[in-house]
Copies of this chain bind each other. A is one copy, B any other.
């Protein structure tokens, strides 16, 4: 893992459709060593996978909400249960267990308010152990990198 490897990661996390030749040019190597480096980065799992970025808005998934969740108490049982439920709800884009004023931060995406209400009332609030919930509606996405290399 040297500077060239990082450069390769940085390029691929921007645009995974770059082919080996193009990457080779950009990092200043020829095809073969570049190819070997990429394969190695994949094998070693520096690269976890390749995905297409889909425009949620174009599919009508236009409302995004961040929900702060607090549990009654921090028992292992409640936490494990909460994690399990989160995994099964497709409306939940991301979920982080955090320290601080609340316990979990959810990012939720739905098509409309009705769907959001339904999500909260029927799916989220029925999870046991939740003591408090606070929603912040996203008005604008200013930045959303998926990159970790720069």
Q: Which residues of A contact B (CB under 8 A)?
A: 1, 6, 9, 12-17, 44-56, 58-59, 61, 64, 66, 83, 86-87, 90, 92-102, 104-105, 109, 134-150
Chain B, Cβ-Cβ closest to A38:
B52
CB distance from A87 to the nearest CB of B (A): 6
Which residues on the B side are within 8 Å of A9 (C-beta)? 52, 54, 59
CB distance from A117 to the nearest CB of B (A): 16
What are 27 inter-chain pairs, A to B, with CB distance below 8 A? A9-B59, A13-B52, A15-B49, A15-B50, A15-B51, A45-B58, A48-B55, A50-B51, A51-B51, A53-B146, A56-B148, A59-B148, A66-B98, A87-B143, A92-B143, A92-B145, A93-B144, A94-B144, A95-B144, A96-B138, A96-B140, A97-B138, A97-B139, A98-B138, A99-B136, A100-B136, A100-B137
